[in-house]
Structure 1
Amino acid sequence: MSYIGVDIGTSVIKAALFDDAGEQCALESAPARVVSPHEAWFEQDMEEVLTAVAMVVRGLLKSAAAQTAGPPTLLALTGQGDGVWLVDGAGRAVRPAVSWMDARAAGIADRWQADGMSETVFRRTGGAMFPGCPAPVLAWLDAHEPRVLDWALTAAYCKDVVMQRLTGVRATDTSDAALPFLDPVTRTYATDVLDACGLAHRADLLAPVVEPGPTGVLNDEGAALLGLAVGTPVSAGPFDLPACARGSGVDEPGVGHLIVGTTLACQVVIDELDMSGEPAGLTLPLGRPDRWLRSMPAMVGTAALDWVLALIGRTHDGVDELLAASVPGAHGVRCLPYFSPAGERAPFLESGARARLDGLTVQTTPADVVRAVCEGIAYAARHCFEAAGLSGDVAICGGGVRSKHWLRLFADVLGRPVHVAPSAEVGAYGAVLAGIAATGLDADAGAWATTRAAATTVVGPGADSTRLYAGEYDRYRATVDRARTEWKERQV
């Protein structure tokens, strides 16, 4: 028996093959394209995404491991969350998908924040609204492209569009439905939230919520597209943040999970709902009635590092060398890592948030700038974890963990051990675990977890660096507080 997990990311789409012991034995990836037709707009072509999914699955099936394992028992999907993917009854696009990175609805999100409506919704659902989440995007489309909404059958999420095309199933899971329309207790849509957002008349665009997650089988179109047999079981969800947490074995209250990817996602398992505090982040159901993820997905993670590397003409292959060529504290260069044109959504909501590099001189080296950006991202992670209630160790995954120096830096800034999963594709693995549970397939997931736990690498913090970074973090927080006042004044 074998299982395929597909992670439909914003910039990369990956398919991983897992054997009957839960070990990853093959991987295929393909780039995904995000286009910007206007300033601060970010969109994706659904057919391109579907073609890339087919490419990676077909590539996986040609691998030696797949040839040995035979036909897969399950195809499990996960992918990026938020945004709006408008489709008709056949699951085909009625307009390009609006990405979670999009900022066209920033004015609506700002207005809702100013008049208190966003806080009202947060106290109800535990989800803070930002420009790229479905509610403001749908409100913008309702105002500017109402005929498009009239033509659409579903305002879907990425993985659910792929699921519908492959199986004909129109549905979503509780994690994608959580922001911002889902009641976290009943796991059903909160009609009062739709009313508050002025979207009650568009409620029929929301796909049915299925627990533990949508399942189906490959139809003729899906089978022909992927090169798999008609009738192969397919599952969808959870989306990438909770899928990665599940794949990393994070399920005990207080334990944290960090994804160092395009998004810097900081998550903590909770067993009691708490809608107090500053409205920020998400509250995501975690597969059982007494568990949720308090998720703080900051807008920019590795994208900030991509920007600075492109600026100095270097690549990710040189990150460890650059970090080693500077020192903790980056010779006084400091960074606020808010590089997204949509601002920030966690651990606070500020659409006007912008990045900053301070302390530059003619003696500043490219290595100092890279280290300052990496340190700034790590400080942002600590800020998010404090807001989410972290009390235990942290499991970490994502493209950023390929840098051993950056991994150590995260441990030092967080002041606690970080646990690195034995295989990189924890999102695809988490999707497979969720798919096995949803479809009732016979697999010893408990034994898989034991094996993976034994193979996990633990990186502990260094005492001297932790002390230095504790002081630098306090300085960072004070700078953020001053900057938030400036950002608000600039918007007035």
Structure 2
Amino acid sequence: MYVGIDVGTSVVKAAAFDGTGRELAVAARPVGLALHGGFAEQDMEEVYGSVVAVLDELTSRRAEPVELAGLTGQGDGVWLVDREGRPVRSAVSWMDGRAHELLDQWLADGTVETVFRRTGSTMFPGCPGPLLAWLDSHEPQSLDAAATALYCKDMVFRRLTGAPAATDVSDASMPFLDPRTRTYDNGVVELLGLTHRRGLFAPVHDRLATAPARGEGLPPGTRLSNGPYDLPACALGAGVTAAGDGLLIVGTCLAALVATTDLDLSGEPAGLYISTDRPGHWLRAMPAMVGTAALDWVLSTTGVPHEEVDGLLDATPPGAHGVRVLPYFAPSGERAPFVAPGLRAELTGISLESTRADLVRGVCEGIGYAARHCLEAAGLTGSLAVCGGGTRSPAWMRLLADVLGRPLRVVEGEVGARGAVLAAAERYGVALETSAWTQPTAVVEPDAGRAAYYAKGYQEHLQKLAGARGRMPG
């Protein structure tokens, strides 16, 4: 049995696979996300306790021994721990918006562009650069008490194994890693005013860290690999490794990734280049802030259960009777394929005749247009795989294929956990048939007529977006 652990923002999961990649069992537990006044934080003890709980549940339900385990999890944010790996405060989530004023300043004075030219990363409020700078100014006692500023999976790995604090090149990619040398760019650290906090940065392992488990959740001695974080792990789990091929993750975060061997830091600053375990190979990433979270908000506001989504999507035509949604619901604005901390969602075209079906289709179409924008900016030229919670809706997948105007290789199940196992197997020299592990569960073809309709709708979306950005303060 091979075990993949995926420490998500809202749910922690552990999945068991056999040697052919067949998913045997999944254990999951929700975790809290405290949202208040633009702040977004998580209790590290709750997160770690949930990891142990799902592993206990998974291993107790299966008789097979654990061959090896791979770990992945949400990226960005700041997870401050002491020398024993214990939290010194709540984790600051990647969804946090407290540093938006600082980022606005860095956008205006050219700091954001300078960082992109050096590292290929376009900062957003919830990434470690602005968050550490904000904490240094407003909460220095937390940084004083910390030994290391980790990422989510690194905190969990340290607790599961007792290994020294460290991270990998994928998590370190935002925003301090030089993608050419695969080491921290101290010039960027200085530019962000963090040189005196340089000691908090976790050492970067060029290859994924490995260590035996101590016995919490996993049997003692289990071979465990740390990383990569969830976006590149999903790319591995979906088989997206050839240059030009892409992946769209329709989850809490709407993430567009395209594999590339071309590091071009000369274009418009947007998204980031995620370094991978293979030097000279990157993922050009455009991780938009909100994906299924936007649909969840509409469903909770209108009182529609998730199981009714497919029926509602089929109950109203393309265009949703004029209802249009700019799906920028995150309290910290947007980060891809542009950075706009003050941008907010807009719902237009609503009248007394509008139905719940119109609202649901409108937001799904808006998310589709945002996905198309991200994929174009990331340079998609090859095939496109899709994974994430949104794949559970066949009607949404048909709509998405139409909006994107291309076939979708739908990869269902725990794709991040699957990628974590594949990364662990590679690291430990365990031979697995990758093509069998990454087979799509379906291929959804676009309808030519609807694709043509949505091609025009996409241009209208870009115009509405330009207008919304033009109305932003400052």
Change (3 A) 1:388 1:369: same
Correspondent of 2:244 among 250, 254, 257: 254
Code of the aligned partner of 1:167: T
Partner of 1:216: 211
The count of residues paired between Structure 1 and Structure 2 equals 473
> By how many angstroms is 1:286 displaced?
2.5
Q: Distance in 2 between matches of 1:251 and 1:230?
A: 33
Code of the aligned partner of 1:218: A
1:155 aligns with 2:162: no
4+ residue runs of structure 1 moved beyond 4 angstroms? Answer: none
1:464 aligns with 2:454: no
Partner of 1:172: 167
Q: TM-score, normalised by structure 2?
A: 0.98
Q: Distance in 2 between matches of 1:109 and 1:75?
A: 38
Correspondent of 2:58 among 57, 60, 65: 60
Correspondent of 2:129 among 135, 138, 148: 135
Instruction: Please state whether the residue corresponding to 2:167 is helix, strand or coil.
Output: coil
Code of the aligned partner of 2:213: L
> By how many angstroms is 1:276 displaced?
2.5
Q: Distance in 2 between matches of 1:79 and 1:452?
A: 19
1:279 aligns with 2:279: no
Correspondent of 1:339 among 311, 329, 343: 329
Q: Distance in 2 between matches of 1:439 and 1:216?
A: 11
Q: Distance in 1 between matches of 2:123 and 2:414?
A: 29
Correspondent of 2:309 among 319, 330, 335: 319
Q: Distance in 2 between matches of 1:448 and 1:434?
A: 10
Correspondent of 1:302 among 283, 292, 297: 292
Structure 2 contact 119–175 (Cα < 8 Å) conserved: yes
Code of the aligned partner of 1:29: A
Q: Distance in 2 between matches of 1:60 and 1:230?
A: 15
Partner of 1:408: 398
> By how many angstroms is 1:122 displaced?
0.4
Q: Distance in 2 between matches of 1:215 and 1:270?
A: 26
Correspondent of 1:449 among 405, 415, 435: 435
Structure 2 contact 422–434 (Cα < 8 Å) conserved: no
> By how many angstroms is 1:211 displaced?
2.4
1:425 aligns with 2:417: no
1:244 aligns with 2:238: no
CA offset digits 1:220-246 (Å, max 9, x no partner): xxx1x31x3322111110000000001
Instruction: Please state whether the residue corresponding to 1:42 is helix, strand or coil.
Output: strand
Structure 2 contact 22–437 (Cα < 8 Å) conserved: no
> By how many angstroms is 1:439 displaced?
2.4
Instruction: Please state whether the residue corresponding to 1:195 is helix, strand or coil.
Output: helix
Q: Distance in 1 between matches of 2:208 and 2:110?
A: 33
Deviates more, 1:302-311 or 1:17-26: 17-26
Where does 1:468-487 land on structure 2 (aligned, <5 Å)? 468-487=453-472
Code of the aligned partner of 1:52: S
Deviates more, 1:153-162 or 1:270-279: 270-279
Q: Distance in 2 between matches of 1:11 and 1:343?
A: 19
Where does 1:62-81 land on structure 2 (aligned, <5 Å)? 62-63=60-61, 66-67=62-63, 69=64, 71-81=65-75
Q: Distance in 2 between matches of 1:31 and 1:412?
A: 32
RMSD of aligned alpha carbons: 1.1
Partner of 1:21: 20
Q: Distance in 2 between matches of 1:391 and 1:306?
A: 31
CA offset digits 1:4-46 (Å, max 9, x no partner): 100000001100001122221110100010112x301010011
Instruction: Please state whether the residue corresponding to 2:211 is helix, strand or coil.
Output: strand
Instruction: Please state whether the residue corresponding to 1:78 is helix, strand or coil.
Output: strand
> By how many angstroms is 1:289 displaced?
1.7
Q: Distance in 1 between matches of 2:326 and 2:422?
A: 37
1:263 aligns with 2:228: no
Partner of 2:195: 200
CA offset digits 1:345-371 (Å, max 9, x no partner): 001000011101111111111100110
Change (3 A) 1:390 1:78: same
Change (3 A) 1:142 1:439: same
CA offset digits 1:195-218 (Å, max 9, x no partner): 111111111111111122111111
Q: Distance in 2 between matches of 1:448 and 1:155?
A: 34
Q: TM-score, normalised by structure 1?
A: 0.94
Partner of 1:41: 39
Q: Distance in 1 between matches of 2:150 and 2:428?
A: 22
Where does 1:360-399 land on structure 2 (aligned, <5 Å)? 360-399=350-389
Structure 2 contact 258–379 (Cα < 8 Å) conserved: yes
Instruction: Please state whether the residue corresponding to 1:62 is helix, strand or coil.
Output: helix
Q: Distance in 2 between matches of 1:346 and 1:481?
A: 14
Partner of 1:87: 81
Q: Distance in 1 between matches of 2:306 and 2:142?
A: 40
CA offset digits 1:378-405 (Å, max 9, x no partner): 0000000111111122100000111111
1:328 aligns with 2:318: yes
Q: Distance in 2 between matches of 1:468 and 1:22?
A: 39
Code of the aligned partner of 1:127: S
Instruction: Please state whether the residue corresponding to 1:479 is helix, strand or coil.
Output: helix
Instruction: Please state whether the residue corresponding to 1:30 is helix, strand or coil.
Output: strand
Instruction: Please state whether the residue corresponding to 1:320 is helix, strand or coil.
Output: helix
Instruction: Please state whether the residue corresponding to 1:349 is helix, strand or coil.
Output: coil
- Identity over aligned pairs, percent: 56
1:229 aligns with 2:202: no
Change (3 A) 1:15 1:276: same
> By how many angstroms is 1:284 displaced?
0.4
Q: Distance in 2 between matches of 1:229 and 1:352?
A: 47
Where does 1:106-145 land on structure 2 (aligned, <5 Å)? 106-145=100-139
> By how many angstroms is 1:373 displaced?
0.3
